[in-house]
Chain A
Amino acid sequence: MAQKTVISLLVVTIVGAFIIGLYDAVRPSLASDAAVEEPAQVAAVLPTATAEILVEPLATADALVDAAATTPLQQSLDNVGDTWTRDGVITVLDDFGMTLELSDGSSVYVELGPPSFWQAQNVPLMVDESVFVNGFSNGEQIHAATVLLPDGAQLTLRNETGQPLWSGGTGGGNVQGQSEPLTQVSPEDWVTFSGIISSVSNSTVTLKTSDGPMTVQLGQQRFWQDQGVTLAVGDEISVLGIWQSSQFQVAEITKTQTGERIMLRDPNNRPLWAGPGQNAQGSGNSGGQGQSNGGQGSSGGNGQGNGGNGQGNGNGYRGGRGSN
């Protein structure tokens, strides 16, 4: 009797999960995708513009983190800091940046952005090579805008204002006006938590904050893991996101110690792993190739047009991933 009850419970669970899974898969609009739906439809009409709007406010990733509760996202461009121009010799190179030994003997760490973006430019950096860096320093971090190699090759990472080109280009002034109908989330809704990771799985990370433990969803596993940032128990991180009913949705995770970031959602809280949206599928499905073009193109510096021509409404992140 007891045995049968237990077994029935197990069977019911599995069958139930299967049915719910199917239902989730076919249901046209999920709660969390509600925000996705609309921009996607607009995208069909106005591919280029939409792409930029979706992406623009993410521009400075630092911005998101600092934009706790009250700071409007767009404001924080100045966070990249003042221009910083030096030459030096690469002593250590990793996926997200390099350590430079400057002529005065000091060493600095220069951030290069997502590996999927800069490595796709086919400008190989090497240890012991001397390079010329044009970038920004805010006193804490140094972000490279361009890295010039002795042979004349150049990595282009940010534009003159410090905006990362991998985020899909520089939004023009026109963005402001148009973003109105699309924005589902107002900047005040964004909140930041920080704490120490107490456990990580493929799809969740639990951190100890000063208010107790908190578990956040990382969304699609491959998407965040492909960004190359590892999360380990004991890391201090800050997460930026919003509360949707009682669920906390994360847009971005930053590792405090290294400054590395995992981007999960755009400023409209649209999941980046959801891709370009239904209507853009046709142009996007040429796969890695087409998407990586998006990344490449933007490295050329014409962030403006690129979003549109690389892929339906490529948003930079997809471009980055595709080229990986």
Chain B
Amino acid sequence: MTEQLDPRSEQITRRIRDSIERDDLPLSDDRSRMRYVMNNLVLHIHPSKVARPTLQFTYTWGLGGLAILLFTILVVSGVMLMFVYTPSPETAYNDMLALQTDVQFGQLVRNLHHWSGNLLVVVAFLHLLRVFFTGGFHPPREFNWVLGVLLLLLVVGANFTGYLLPWDQLAYWAVTVGSSLLTYIPLIGEGLSNLILGGPEVGAATLTNFYGLHIAIIPLAMMMLISFHIWRVRKDTLTIPRGADEPPADRVEKVTTIPHLVRIELVFALVMIALILLWASWVNAPLEAAANPDHSPNPAKAAWYFMGLQELLLHFHPFFAAIIIPGLGLTGLMMLPYLRFDQLTEGIWFRSSKGRRMALVGALTGLLVTPGLVILDEYFVDLPALLPSLPTLISNGWVPLAGLLLLLVIFYALTKRLFRATQDEARLSLFTLLVTAFIVLTIIGVAFRGEGMALMWPWEALA
């Protein structure tokens, strides 16, 4: 009787196992293999088959996947941190000290969270570059690019709000510097800053605000957006990699996701976890003296990923440095997939063999011109003094920006004329130039600015 009512196996271990894994491991025939594949959770994330060329590691570099892995590590280690942390100026810093000294593996958990968070900023940015340089944003993937940009903003926002929580000098002043940028938004800037900080300056209310954003709002938003993003990748499928100047293949070979893709993902994830654990065991997350609102470190620097912006502030009127230029940059980034293209280049690294050279031209130009302009402005040109009758908003804002934009226009026109680049190749070159410039500015801000944000030469910076 029982056998008819309950068709399950007689062994309890087997019954348990079957409840989790409904089908046997893939059999040799294609049909049962496919059934195994269809019934698997993995396939709610991946399609059942993927194009073989996309498995090539040097196409995606596993960066999107790595971002998901890091996000997972962040959630797990973050929840652990919540057990010991109270977001109040009286307790926060002591909690960090206690975590590092009294709690078993406390320092390791903190290190994991800290380094994964910083790495995620880098990885998300590199993933953006990978997608850009392989033309992964072309239709139908335009909107997924936009989702990606939003995700990048959330990653930075999560990092920024988390920066404050240890309530040490670094945290306090980086957030003071970073949030002061908001006040330059016309009309609403002051109000917005007050809203986010919970008052005119960083204090207890800021800490609770940031805590809420950091542990609930931003992670939830990220989870939703990541699901959306991955779902779109699944629906649109990944772009198929191909060689430069190679036409798109009519037919691509497809292989089952399990085991071909999952195997790679698993190995990659394990290797990365090992590396991150190793790093976190050896390198401690920084913790400085307790926050002291009366005494700022000199120089007071923002978090490293904002140093490009802080560097701009030294050269432009704050309204331009903090609002207009980043605003233009972000708008450009979001609109990029919606520009018309004149070549079908998706799946090709750097568009074409000429595109490769154009990327190099852009990178080299950015590498040489950016430090040049910084030095020029630092030591030789003082626009407000040369144009005393204009308000600085113009003389140190619009005028230098117009100059730079004009240079970019000229650069763009030159790449087309000199190298006979197509529109896509010229755009690629320009994008590379801007990205390089941003990275160079960030490096100058992080490494070559000393006391009072004075410029240091490399030999001084090293000394």
Q: Which residues of A contact B190 (CB under 8 A)?
A: 212-213
Interface check B300, CB cutoff 8 A:
yes
CA distance in complex: A17, B393 (Å): 13
A14 x B382 contact (CB < 8 A) = no
Contact with B along A2-39 (1 / 0, CB 8 A): 00000101110110010011011100001110000000
Interface check A206, CB cutoff 8 A:
yes
Q: Is the interface of A mostly helix, strand, loop or mixed?
A: mixed
Q: Which residues of A contact B383 (CB under 8 A)?
A: 17, 203
Instruction: Choose one: A14, A215, A231, A257; the contact of B406 (CB below 8 Å).
Output: A14
CA distance in complex: A58, B26 (Å): 90
Interface check A92, CB cutoff 8 A:
no
B384 x A9 contact (CB < 8 A) = no
Q: Which of A102-110, A184-192, A193-201, A289-297 contacts B (4 or more CB under 8 A)?
A: A193-201
Contact with A along B371-394 (1 / 0, CB 8 A): 000000110001111111110100
Q: Which of A137-145, A147-155, A159-167, A232-240 contacts B (4 or more CB under 8 A)?
A: A232-240
Instruction: Choose one: A10, A203, A204, A225; the contact of B405 (CB below 8 Å).
Output: A10
B409 x A7 contact (CB < 8 A) = yes
B382 x A208 contact (CB < 8 A) = no
B395 x A204 contact (CB < 8 A) = no
B377 x A10 contact (CB < 8 A) = no
B389 nearest in chain A by CB position? A24
CA distance in complex: A20, B386 (Å): 9
Minimum Cβ distance to chain A for residue B461 (Å): 16
CA distance in complex: A233, B183 (Å): 14
CA distance in complex: A10, B377 (Å): 20
Minimum Cβ distance to chain B for residue A12 (Å): 9
B200 x A13 contact (CB < 8 A) = no
A201 nearest in chain B by CB position? B314
A14 x B402 contact (CB < 8 A) = yes
CA distance in complex: A204, B383 (Å): 11
A200 x B314 contact (CB < 8 A) = yes
Q: Which residues of A contact B385 (CB under 8 A)?
A: 203, 219-221
CA distance in complex: A164, B405 (Å): 49
Q: Which residues of B contact A257 (CB under 8 A)?
A: 294-295
B396 x A20 contact (CB < 8 A) = no
Contact with B along A218-232 (1 / 0, CB 8 A): 011100010000111
B177 nearest in chain A by CB position? A233
Interface check A244, CB cutoff 8 A:
no
Q: How many of chain A's residues touch chain B, expressed as a range?
A: 35 or more
A30 x B388 contact (CB < 8 A) = yes
Minimum Cβ distance to chain A for residue B177 (Å): 5
Instruction: Choose one: A13, A201, A232; the contact of B396 (CB below 8 Å).
Output: A201
Contact flag A234-B296 (CB < 8 Å), given A198-B183, A208-B180, A212-B190: yes
Interface check B128, CB cutoff 8 A:
no
Minimum Cβ distance to chain B for residue A262 (Å): 11
B387 x A20 contact (CB < 8 A) = yes
Interface check B347, CB cutoff 8 A:
no
Contact with B along A59-76 (1 / 0, CB 8 A): 000000000000000000
Q: Which residues of A contact B314 (CB under 8 A)?
A: 200-202
B402 x A232 contact (CB < 8 A) = no
Interface check A217, CB cutoff 8 A:
yes
Instruction: Choose one: B201, B316, B402, B451; the contact of A230 (CB below 8 Å).
Output: B451
Interface check B453, CB cutoff 8 A:
yes
B399 nearest in chain A by CB position? A17
Q: How many of chain B's residues touch chain A, expressed as a range?
A: 35 or more
Instruction: Choose one: A13, A203, A217; the contact of B399 (CB below 8 Å).
Output: A13
CA distance in complex: A20, B454 (Å): 30
A21 x B386 contact (CB < 8 A) = yes
Q: Which residues of A contact B318 (CB under 8 A)?
A: 199, 201, 206, 215
Q: Which residues of B contact A196 (CB under 8 A)?
A: 201
A17 nearest in chain B by CB position? B399
Interface check B244, CB cutoff 8 A:
no
B176 x A234 contact (CB < 8 A) = yes
Q: Which residues of B contact A213 (CB under 8 A)?
A: 183, 190
CA distance in complex: A17, B385 (Å): 12
A221 x B406 contact (CB < 8 A) = no
Minimum Cβ distance to chain B for residue A177 (Å): 34
A24 x B452 contact (CB < 8 A) = no
B384 x A232 contact (CB < 8 A) = no
CA distance in complex: A208, B194 (Å): 13
Interface check B403, CB cutoff 8 A:
yes
Q: Which residues of B contact A232 (CB under 8 A)?
A: 296, 298-300, 451-453
B173 x A17 contact (CB < 8 A) = no
B177 x A234 contact (CB < 8 A) = yes
Q: Which residues of B contact A32 (CB under 8 A)?
A: 388
Interface check B277, CB cutoff 8 A:
no
Interface check B315, CB cutoff 8 A:
yes
A233 x B402 contact (CB < 8 A) = no
Q: Which residues of A contact B294 (CB under 8 A)?
A: 257
Contact flag A220-B176 (CB < 8 Å), given A201-B315, A233-B300, A257-B295: no
B390 x A9 contact (CB < 8 A) = no
CA distance in complex: A225, B100 (Å): 42
B452 x A230 contact (CB < 8 A) = yes
B402 x A9 contact (CB < 8 A) = yes
Q: Which residues of A contact B453 (CB under 8 A)?
A: 200, 232-233
A24 x B382 contact (CB < 8 A) = no
B395 nearest in chain A by CB position? A17
Instruction: Choose one: A7, A10, A11, A233; the contact of B296 (CB below 8 Å).
Output: A233
CA distance in complex: A220, B451 (Å): 20
Contact with B along A268-290 (1 / 0, CB 8 A): 00000000000000000000000
B319 nearest in chain A by CB position? A215
A20 x B384 contact (CB < 8 A) = no
In the complex, which residues 22-70 of chain B have their Cβ closer than 8 Å to any Cβ of chain A?
Answer: none
Interface check B317, CB cutoff 8 A:
yes
A199 x B180 contact (CB < 8 A) = yes
Interface check B147, CB cutoff 8 A:
no
B382 x A204 contact (CB < 8 A) = no
Given contacts A25-B386, A201-B318, 14 further A-B contacts (CB under 8 A): A14-B402, A14-B406, A17-B387, A17-B399, A24-B388, A201-B316, A201-B396, A213-B190, A219-B385, A221-B382, A232-B300, A233-B173, A233-B296, A234-B176
CB<8 Å pairs between A and B, sample of 15: A10-B403, A17-B402, A25-B386, A30-B388, A200-B453, A202-B315, A202-B382, A203-B385, A208-B180, A225-B454, A230-B298, A230-B454, A233-B176, A233-B300, A234-B300
Which 10 A-B pairs have CB atoms at the shortest separation, nearest pair first? A230-B452, A234-B296, A198-B180, A13-B402, A234-B300, A17-B399, A10-B406, A203-B384, A10-B402, A233-B300
